[in-house]
Structure formats: C-alpha cells, structure tokens
C-alpha cells in the first residue's frame, strides 16, 4: 500500500481560511429545560421528574448539562461518568426515550423547543437517579467466558493470524460494555434471565477469533433457553450502540453458528 | 467499620493494576480496589500503540529503544529502568497476544508495527516501526484483554471502592504499610483492608488542569495519599502537554494527524511552524510544537471568538486518506466541535496529557521512602509511579508499555513479599482520619463551592503552569493555590446521603488536586532550567550542572522551599549506565 502513496505537494505556507474559522463571532447559546427522573430511596421510594432551566453553549453535550445541574444547582444529582468522550462506557442513559451516552450526545442535535428528558437505562435496578446496578449485566458477560481459550501448546513468539482472520471479528472488539444495547432490548426488560445483546456481542468476539478453541463451549451456553434464541430481531440494540457495532448482525451470525453446530 | 484481610491489595484497575492482579492473583490472595469499574479506566482511551523492539517489520533491537527513551526524556531517565523496560517490552507484547489481544497483523500474520515520534533505528538515524497497535484503539484492547484475563483467573474486584488513606504501622521505628482505608460508594460505609503488600496503580492527575486529555476521575488520589503519609513525590514538575487537544475540550487528537500531513495554522492562515522549526516544522517534538502554538495565541494570532486556539488543517488531504488513516480523530472533531475535517480546519490547543512524576520506585516497583531506602511491602506502578523511565518527557507508546512491564513486576514482587511476611497490626483507630475528613466535608457550613474552587484552580494552572512558566507565573499560581486551600476549609456540599454520594467524593478529590498542584508548582519554581516538559522562560536552557537530578518533594509542616512553607524539596541522583547526556536534537 505504501508504495502507491504519491508524494503530496508541499502545502501552502499561507492560505485563506474558510468562513469564520479565522476568528471573531459569538459562541451561540441555547436555553433549554432539562427534565431528569430523580430517584433516591433514602428519601422516597417514588421516583419523580424534576425540571432545570439551563443556558448552555453550542458545543455542549448532555453530560455538560448534567454537570451544570450538579455543580451549580443541586449537588445531589447522581450519575456516572469518566472519560467524557465516548470511550469508557460509564454514562449510558435514556435521553428523550433513546439509549445513548450523555457525553456523546450534543444538545444542538436535540429538539430544544421541548424539554430534554433524561432517565436511567431500563431493565437494570435503579440505585439512585441515573445510576443502575450493573452487576446483572456483568454477570451475563462473565457467563459467556469472555477470554481466549487455546488448547495448543504455547508458541514461543506470537500466534499467527491472517489479516482476514483478524478482520472477521473486528466489529465486536469495539464494545465498551456500556449496556446501551442490552438495556434497550424489550426481551431483556421482560425476561431478566436473557443474556442480552452485549454478552452475545462479546461471545461473538471470541467465537470468530481464529485463535480460540472454545467456540463449541460458548455456543452450547448460548443455545440454552436464555440464550440467542430469545432475540426477536427488533434492532433496538444496533440503533443504541454508541460504537456503531452491528449488534443484530453479530447475534444473527452467532445463531447461524449454533445451527451449523447442530447440538 | 468493616475489616477485610488479603495478602495483597491493589489500588486501581487500569492497565497497571490489572496486569499486577493477573500475576498476584495466581500467587496470593488478592483484592483489587477501584473507584470506577475496571473497564472504565482511562487506559482505554489510549489510541496510538505500545512499543517493543519485536523487529517484525524491520531491523530493531531493545538497545536502540533504550537509547530513544533516555534521549526523549532529556537524560533525566534512570537508565537501568529504561533498559529493563525496553528488554521486557518484547515479552510484554507477546504476553498480551497470548492473552488474546487482537493486534493488527502483517501480511504474514505477525504482529504489525508502525512509526511513532522519537522512536528511531540505530540511535537516531531514521524512524523505526516499533509501535504495536490494534487499529486506533490500542488502549481499549489492552484494558479489555486484561479485564478478560482477570475474569478468567477469578480476580476479586471491589468496584466503586474509593481508597482514601494508607494505614502505616510503626516497625522498629519506621512506618510500614499495614492496610488501606476505603469508602464504598454504593453504601457510604468505610472499610479497612488489611494487607501484607499494597500496590498503588491509581493513574495520573491531569484534572489539575482545565484543558486535559485525562478523564474526570484522574485526580491524583494515589499520589496525594502517599504524600500525606510522609512519602516523597518525584519529579512532579514534569507534565507532558500534548499539542493537539480539541480546543476547549482537551480531547486528544493523536500525533498521527500531523504524521499523515496535517498542518497547524494561525488566524492569518499562516503555517507558523515554519518559523519555529524550519526543517521538521509540524513534526517537531511535542513540547516544541505545544510552545509554538501557545506563543501564537499569546501574540494575538489565535483563532475563534476568543482567539484562544489554532487550527489543524487537514483539508488538503484526500477524504479517502483521512478515512483510512484518521477515522477516530475525524469522528471526534465532527461529534464534539461540529467541524467537518474534509473541508474545515479543526480548532486545537495543547492539552495536559501525562504526569511524568509520581511515587518514586525502583525497577522492582518498590516505593522509596527517601532517596536511598525502600518501604517493605509497598509498591507502585503505572502513571501514579515514577520509576523513572520517562525522565522529563515521555515518548509516545512508552506508557502502555510501562504499565505492562512494571505492572507485572509489581504483581509478582507484591505476592512474593506477602508469602514471606506477616500481617502487621492495624491500629484500632486506623479509619479515624478518614472518618474525620468525611465528617468535616459533610458538616461544613461555609459558603464555598467545590465546583467553583476546582474551576479556579484549573484556570490558574492552565494560565500559569502550562507550557510557559516563569518565577512570576509560578508565584502567582502558588498564591492562588494558598488562597484556594484556605477557602477549601469553608466548603459546603449539598448531598447529605449515604448512597452514591459523588458530591462528597468530589470534595475529597479537590483536596488531592490542591495538594498536588502545590507540589507541582514548588518543584517547578525550584527547577531553574528548561528540560523536556518543563519550560522556564526565565531559564530557557538545560542546566546539567545544577539540575541533572530528580526532585523529591515531602510534606513537612516546618519546612520552607524557596520561601514556600510546608514542603521540603530534596534530590535523588539520576542513574546512568552507559549513555552520556547529549543535547536533545532531532
Ligand atoms: C487520550 C490518551 C491517549 C493516550 N495514548 C497513549 C498511547 O497511544 N500510548 C501510550 O503508551 N500511552 C498513551 N497514553 C498514556 C496511557 O494511556 C496512560 O498513562 C496509562 O494508560 C495509565 O494507566 P494506569 O493503569 O496507570 O492508570 P489508569 O488506566 O488511569 O487507571 C487508574 C485506575 O485507578 C483507579 N483509582 C484511581 N484513584 C483511586 C482511588 N482513590 N481508589 C481506588 N481506585 C482508584 C481507577 O478506578 C482506575 O481503575 C494516553 C493517555 C491518554 C489520556
Ligand atoms: S455492543 Fe455497543 S451498546 Fe452494547 S455494550 Fe457494547 S458498546 Fe455498548
Ligand atoms: S463518560 Fe466515558 S463514555 Fe461517556
């Protein structure tokens, strides 16, 4: 590939900058109502909605709006966050009824003429405000044995893997375990036993890794009554995934692999 | 108060903590305490790669890698440690591959390698392909792979347990670690973990600054806890500022953007790097590019409404090329700034990226209590530690390596030590200082707000302690920090509950940040030279006669350093093995 790259012409020392990027101008601001579903069992068993009127800037995200509330209005508002740019998976929540990461959702992309609603993801027990108990989610993840199992003896150097074999499971290695998919799945809401899409995505990552020898074992687990067959192909998960993983496609591939095995 | 007993306790579940846990967990009863879920740790944000002289794609060897690391660190690197890291790099990468990490592959199916700034063949002759990578999410894959292997080995995690103190027990007149005090976020209960060995792997402290590539949770807790317990902090004046953070946000745009042909421009559309580094221009070392950018802004040639950033211009590159080589960067620019990099230049400004300093250790990850002596049973690894393999400036891809090499060493050493040692008694009132601290925060009735104080701290550190420093700016920062520390005594928090009280913990974290900002500033004031990430405009040259040594800062009520009270500054010699200091030229 590198041989094909042609030498780029030396870029100009000085150019005319497009539009307003050179400077000047105002940063646009927005007024909005943030409507947050508050829940704190220390205070009351009942959840309630609370409205906050905020003035925010053009590049602000829902996470910035939540921080503004927490830091300037009500310090007891509780939510998880860390990286603030969509790579750690801490802040999946329901924003205007859809599962998304608060740090990856820009306010200006939402309809601000109506209140922006924010609530905890569904299907996992709410602990306080936007914080849910993630244990059941990680329990399903652990059950599919999410680690490489290889029966051959260890080579001295690396195991070889062709580029095609590596590409085969690339999509599902992107998962950040945010639970946006699993908690958007209607089957998961009604049936607490279902493994849920995220666990299947992570099983896929190993089943289709040419270096792994435990595919049969994982397929057997997923063929179980709580496994892949519960999936009704509603595509909520694929829409929810902030990493753009083709979740439904991954589940379909696992289903096919189970059938091909014919236990 | 609940008491737990483990042979080994590891504080932190990023790359360093989990790499340690995989070793220690198979040898000794181990608990990992982490304030966020392991997979949320900031190791997952690393993009570029992890280097090792595998020589998979071209000739390379660990000795060249050692040299590059030492030169990159402007000779403040301990050379024995750099040798260990470069030598063990090869196994560190192969270990990860065997654990399942999906590295990108060469056409033959071996681990692929690519170039990264400062990594060269034969002592600087030409760039070498040394960075192993997994697309543009190497850190993510390292974090996931290590977590997967922790699941495999049944490592015991205590998630959302904030470690707030170290318990020291006197043995033969010297304090030794006997446990840690933690706060369980879910319940608000304080727990004490008694342990024979304790490993700090709690990451960096980028949140001292306003503009940073670091996560909200990187508040330097481990460093501050060690410092408060009388242990020294080494080389805290050295912070790496990465040239290209997204303006106003600090989110990292990898060096690869300029490697692929990106150009920095000021408000006049001028390619200003031609003036600062006529030959290598935009690809000059990180510290030089960062200073040039800041200077353009300072002289009024910044862009945007507040003229406070410059532009990274990719518009002359083919969209297909951008898509193939820089997908993550372009996505961040679109999502967060609403800028389309095909047609519009991207606003960027230097961002606080990496703490070269930290808790001093030797090559076995054993923590120093002073310049000669280590503390039995206490270890540190990763960004929280200072081995020192990065000296005054870390090379790209050397940190993901550091966390794996020294994380592994720490895990093995901690378990081995635990096998021979007895538990030390934990005093009855071990948790009292933590309880008092929490009560003070909860019951404070003052008029000061945590978020306001934190913002003022971050603003002054960006203004006065960033890429340009002078005695005047540092004094200004120190005055402000003193004022903030005073006001910190009068804070009031709103959340009075026990469950998930992050309001309370943000107040505690602010205390850590203030303490570390002071240490950083005092060390920077004392170092009257410019070296690596530390640039003093009033002392623009490196001064090996006076400052070829590590700084060691101690909490000391009675002491005074350069007329700043409360900190004692000592030095530790740099370890040389075979490379004489030379001028750092590229
Ligand atoms: C955006 C970005 C890109 C980078 N890219 C690269 C790269 O390409 N190559 C490279 O080599 N380096 C890179 N780096 C640097 C490198 O990623 C980090 O230095 C490294 O990952 C730090 O790992 P760690 O294990 O020390 O800490 P972290 O991964 O930050 O983990 C810290 C852990 O400590 C825990 N913790 C903290 N405080 C407490 C407490 N009080 N109680 C309990 N637990 C606590 C946290 O929960 C967390 O689990 C990059 C850094 C950033 C920010
Ligand atoms: S598949 Fe996507 S939505 Fe589901 S947990 Fe992983 S990253 Fe989140
Ligand atoms: S805060 Fe990390 S994904 Fe949103």
Q: How many Å apart are CA B376 and CA B429, to the nearest integer?
A: 23
**Do residue A119 and residue A204 come from a single domain?**
no
pLDDT (0 to 100) of residue A153? 84
**Whether the CB of A200 sits within 6 Å of ligand 2:** no
pLDDT (0 to 100) of residue A20? 58
Name the minimum distance, in Å, from the CA of A174 to any CA of chain B: 8
Domain presence at residue A51: yes
Segment (H or E) for B310? strand B310-313
Q: How many Å apart are CA A26 and CA B251, to the nearest integer?
A: 22
Of B211, B215, B246, which to mutate for an interface test with A (greatest number of A Cβ within 10 Å)? B215
To the question of whether residue B301 is assigned a binding role by annotation, the answer is: no
Domain presence at residue A195: yes
The best mutation among B92, B383, B438 to test binding of ligand 1, ranked by most ligand atoms within 8 Å of the C-beta, falls on B383
Q: How many Å apart are CA B24 and CA B17, to the nearest integer?
A: 10
Cβ-contact A69, B494 below 8 angstroms: no
Structure tokens at B417: 């030590």
**Do residue A35 and residue A104 come from a single domain?**
yes
Domain presence at residue A158: no
**Do residue A128 and residue A186 come from a single domain?**
no
Whether the complex's predicted ipTM surpasses the cut of 0.90: yes
Structure tokens at A14: 């000085």
What domain count does chain A have? 2
Domain presence at residue A22: no
pLDDT (0 to 100) of residue A19? 60
Instruction: Name the region of A103 (left: φ>0; alpha: ψ -120 to 50; beta: rest).
Output: alpha
Segment (H or E) for B525? helix B502-526
**Do residue A190 and residue A242 come from a single domain?**
yes
- Residue carrying the six token digits 């909005």: A32
Name every chain A residue with its beta carbon within 8 A of the beta carbon of B315: 18
pLDDT (0 to 100) of residue B95? 97
Q: How many Å apart are CA A134 and CA A122, to the nearest integer?
A: 11
**Among all ligands shown, which has an atom nearest to the Cα of B217?**
1
Q: How many Å apart are CA B378 and CA A108, to the nearest integer?
A: 49
Res. B586 pLDDT band, cuts 50 70 90: low
- What residues contact residue B272 under an 8 Å CB cut-off, 6+ apart? B264, B265, B266, B292, B296, B301, B310
**B121, B130, B286, B469: the active-site residue:** B286
**Do residue A37 and residue A121 come from a single domain?**
yes
DSSP A71: I
Domain presence at residue A16: no
Using CA coordinates, name the residue in chain A closest to B149. A147
User: Is B487 an annotated catalytic residue?
Assistant: no
Using CA coordinates, name the residue in chain B closest to A90. B40
Mean predicted lDDT score pLDDT of chain B: 95
Answer whether residue B363 shows pLDDT above 70. yes
Answer whether residue B86 shows pLDDT above 80. yes
Q: What is the pLDDT of residues A124-162, one digit of tens each?
A: 999 999 999 999 999 999 999 999 999 888 888 999 999
For residue A83, the CA-to-ligand 2 centroid distance in Å is 16
Has domain B242-351 been given CATH number 3.90.700.10? yes
For residue B399, the CA-to-ligand 1 centroid distance in Å is 9
Give A 54-73 residues with CB within 8 A of chain B. Answer: 58-59, 61, 70-72
pTM above the 0.90 mark?
Answer: yes
Res. B401 pLDDT band, cuts 50 70 90: very high
Nearest to A235 by CA among A185, A196, A169: A185
- Residue carrying the six token digits 């790499």: B19
- What residues contact residue A158 under an 8 Å CB cut-off, 6+ apart? B93, B94, B97, B98, B103, B110, B111
- Residue carrying the six token digits 């600090």: B250
pLDDT (0 to 100) of residue B446? 95
**Do residue A127 and residue A196 come from a single domain?**
no
Q: What is the pLDDT of residues B321-345, one digit of tens each?
A: 888 777 777 888 988 888 899 999 9
Average pLDDT over residues B356-369: 98
User: Among B74-88, B121-135, B503-517, which stretch is predicted with the lowest mean pLDDT?
Assistant: B121-135
CATH topology for B432-573? Answer: Methane Monooxygenase Hydroxylase; Chain G, domain 1 (1.20.58)
**Whether the CB of B450 sits within 6 Å of ligand 1:** no
- What residues contact residue B452 under an 8 Å CB cut-off, 6+ apart? none
Q: How many Å apart are CA A229 and CA A231, to the nearest integer?
A: 5
- What residues contact residue B549 under an 8 Å CB cut-off, 6+ apart? B571, B572, B573, B574
Res. A218 pLDDT band, cuts 50 70 90: very high
Whether the link from the prior residue into B388 is cis, omega within 30° of 0, is: yes
To the question of whether residue B36 is assigned a binding role by annotation, the answer is: yes
The helix/strand/coil state of A232 is coil
Radius of gyration of chain B (CA): 23
Minimum-distance ligand 1 atom for the alpha carbon of B43: 21
- Return the half-sphere exposure (C-beta side, CA atoms, 13 A cut-off) of residue B445: 0
pLDDT (0 to 100) of residue A14? 82
pLDDT (0 to 100) of residue A11? 67
* Residue B500 φ then ψ, to 5°: 40, 55
DSSP A198: H
- Tell me the DSSP string of A150-180: --SPPPSSPPP--HHHHHHTTGGGG-----T
Domain presence at residue A4: no
**Among all ligands shown, which has an atom nearest to the Cα of B251?**
1
For residue A243, the CA-to-ligand 3 centroid distance in Å is 12
Segment (H or E) for B569? strand B564-573
Average pLDDT over residues B236-254: 94
Q: What is the pLDDT of residues A60-113, one digit of tens each?
A: 999 999 999 999 999 999 999 999 999 999 999 999 999 999 999 999 899 999
**Cβ separation of A21 and B36 shorter than 8 Å?**
no
Average pLDDT over residues A159-167: 96
Minimum-distance ligand 3 atom for the alpha carbon of A84: 1
Q: What is the pLDDT of residues A230-251, one digit of tens each?
A: 998 889 999 999 999 999 999 9
Average pLDDT over residues B44-54: 94
Q: Is A48 on the interface with B (CB under 8 A)?
A: no
**Cβ separation of B344 and A13 shorter than 8 Å?**
no
* CATH 1.20.58.100 segments of chain B: 432-573
CATH number at residue A61: 3.10.20.30
Decide: residue B9, CB within 10 A, 0-12 exposed, 13-18 middle, 19+ buried: buried
**Do residue A120 and residue A172 come from a single domain?**
no
DSSP A73: I
**Do residue A220 and residue A110 come from a single domain?**
no
Q: How many Å apart are CA B13 and CA A137, to the nearest integer?
A: 19
Using CA coordinates, name the residue in chain B closest to A76. B495
Segment (H or E) for A259? helix A247-261
Average pLDDT over residues B177-186: 98
- What residues contact residue B158 under an 8 Å CB cut-off, 6+ apart? B31, B32, B33, B34, B182, B184
Decide: residue B154, CB within 10 A, 0-12 exposed, 13-18 middle, 19+ buried: exposed
* CATH 3.90.700.10 segments of chain B: 242-351
**Cβ separation of B140 and A76 shorter than 8 Å?**
no
Cβ-contact B24, B411 below 8 angstroms: yes
Residue span of the structural domain in which A128 resides: 29-132
Beta strand segments in A103-228, E: 116-119, 126-128, 131-132
pLDDT (0 to 100) of residue B348? 95
Radius of gyration of chain A (CA): 23
**Do residue A119 and residue A171 come from a single domain?**
no
């Amino acid at each position: 590939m590198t041989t094909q790259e042609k030498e780029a012409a030396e870029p100009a020392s000085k150019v005319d900058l497009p539009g307003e990027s050179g400077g000047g101008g105002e940063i646009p601001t927005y007024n909005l109502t943030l409507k947050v579903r508050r829940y704190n069992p220390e205070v009351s068993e009942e959840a309630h909605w609370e409205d906050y009127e905020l003035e925010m800037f053009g590049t602000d995200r829902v996470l910035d709006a939540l921080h503004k509330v927490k830091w300037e209005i009500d310090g007891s508002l509780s939510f998880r966050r860390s990286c603030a740019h969509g790579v750690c998976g801490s802040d999946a929540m329901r924003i205007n009824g859809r599962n998304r990461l608060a740090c990856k959702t820009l306010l200006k992309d939402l309809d601000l003429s109506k209140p922006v609603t924010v609530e905890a993801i569904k299907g996992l027990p709410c602990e306080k405000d936007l914080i849910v108990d993630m244990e059941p989610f990680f329990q399903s993840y652990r059950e599919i044995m999410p680690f490489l199992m290889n029966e051959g003896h260890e080579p001295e150097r690396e195991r070889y893997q062709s580029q095609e074999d590596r590409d085969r499971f690339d999509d599902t290695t992107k998962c950040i375990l945010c639970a946006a998919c699993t908690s958007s799945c209607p089957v998961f809401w009604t049936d607490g036993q279902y493994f849920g899409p995220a666990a299947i995505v992570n099983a896929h990552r190993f089943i289709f890794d040419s270096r792994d020898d435990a595919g049969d074992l994982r397929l057997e687990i997923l063929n179980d009554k709580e496994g892949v067959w519960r999936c009704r192909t509603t595509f909520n998960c694929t829409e929810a995934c902030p990493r753009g993983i083709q979740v439904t496609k991954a589940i379909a591939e696992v289903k096919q692999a189970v059938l091909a095995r014919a236990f | 108060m609940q008491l737990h007993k483990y042979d080994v306790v590891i504080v932190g579940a990023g790359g360093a903590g989990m790499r340690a846990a995989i070793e220690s967990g198979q040898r000794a009863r181990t608990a990992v305490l982490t304030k966020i879920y392991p997979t949320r740790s900031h190791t997952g944000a690393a993009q570029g790669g992890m280097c090792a002289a595998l020589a998979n794609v071209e000739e390379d060897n660990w000795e060249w890698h050692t040299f590059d690391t030492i030169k990159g660190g402007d000779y403040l690197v301990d050379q024995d440690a750099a040798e260990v890291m470069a030598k063990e790099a090869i196994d560190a990468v192969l270990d990860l591959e065997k654990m399942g990490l999906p590295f990108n592959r060469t056409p033959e199916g071996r681990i692929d390698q690519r170039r990264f700034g400062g990594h060269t063949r034969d002592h600087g002759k030409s760039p070498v392909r040394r960075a192993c990578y997994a697309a543009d999410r190497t850190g993510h894959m390292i974090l996931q792979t290590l977590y997967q292997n922790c699941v495999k080995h049944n490592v015991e995690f205590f998630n959302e347990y904030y470690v707030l103190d170290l318990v020291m027990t006197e043995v033969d007149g010297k304090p030794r670690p006997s446990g840690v005090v933690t706060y369980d976020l879910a319940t608000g209960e304080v727990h004490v973990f008694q342990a024979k060995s304790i490993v700090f792997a709690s990451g960096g402290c980028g949140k001292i600054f306003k503009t940073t590539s670091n996560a909200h949770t990187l508040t330097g807790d481990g460093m501050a806890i060690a410092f408060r317990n009388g242990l020294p902090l080494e080389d805290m004046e050295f912070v790496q500022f990465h040239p290209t953070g997204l303006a106003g946000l600090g989110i990292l745009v990898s060096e690869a953007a300029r490697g692929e042909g990106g150009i920095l421009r000021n408000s006049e559309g001028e390619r200003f790097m031609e003036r600062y580094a006529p030959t290598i221009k935009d690809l000059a070392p990180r510290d030089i590019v960062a200073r040039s950018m800041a200077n353009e802004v300072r002289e009024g040639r910044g862009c945007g409404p507040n003229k406070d950033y410059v532009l990274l211009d990719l518009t002359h590159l083919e969209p297909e090329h951008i898509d193939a080589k820089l997908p993550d960067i372009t996505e961040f620019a679109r999502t967060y700034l609403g800028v389309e990099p095909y047609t519009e230049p991207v606003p960027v400004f230097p961002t606080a990226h990496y703490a070269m300093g930290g808790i001093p250790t030797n090559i076995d990850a054993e923590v120093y209590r002073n310049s000669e002596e280590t503390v039995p049973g206490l270890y540190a690894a990763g960004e929280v530690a200072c081995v020192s393999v990065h000296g005054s400036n870390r090379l790209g891809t050397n940190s993901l390596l550091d966390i794996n090499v020294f994380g592994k060493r720490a895990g093995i050493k901690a378990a081995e030590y635990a096998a021979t040692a007895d538990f030390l008694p934990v005093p009855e009132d071990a948790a009292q200082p933590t309880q008092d601290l929490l009560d003070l925060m909860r019951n404070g009735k003052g008029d000061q707000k945590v978020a306001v104080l934190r913002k003022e701290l971050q603003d002054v550190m960006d203004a006065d302690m960033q890429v340009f420093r002078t005695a005047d700016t540092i004094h200004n920062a120190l005055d402000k920090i003193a004022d903030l520390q005073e006001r910190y005594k009068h804070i009031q928090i709103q959340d009075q509950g026990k469950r998930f009280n992050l309001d309370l913990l943000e107040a505690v974290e602010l205390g850590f940040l203030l303490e570390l900002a002071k240490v950083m500033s005092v060390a920077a004031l004392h170092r009257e030279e410019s070296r690596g990430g530390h640039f003093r405009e009033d002392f623009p040259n490196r001064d090996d006669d006076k400052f070829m040594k590590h700084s060691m800062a101690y909490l000391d009520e009675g002491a005074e350093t350069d007329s700043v009270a409360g900190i004692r500054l000592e030095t530790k010699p740099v370890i040389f093995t075979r490379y004489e200091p030379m001028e750092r030229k590229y």
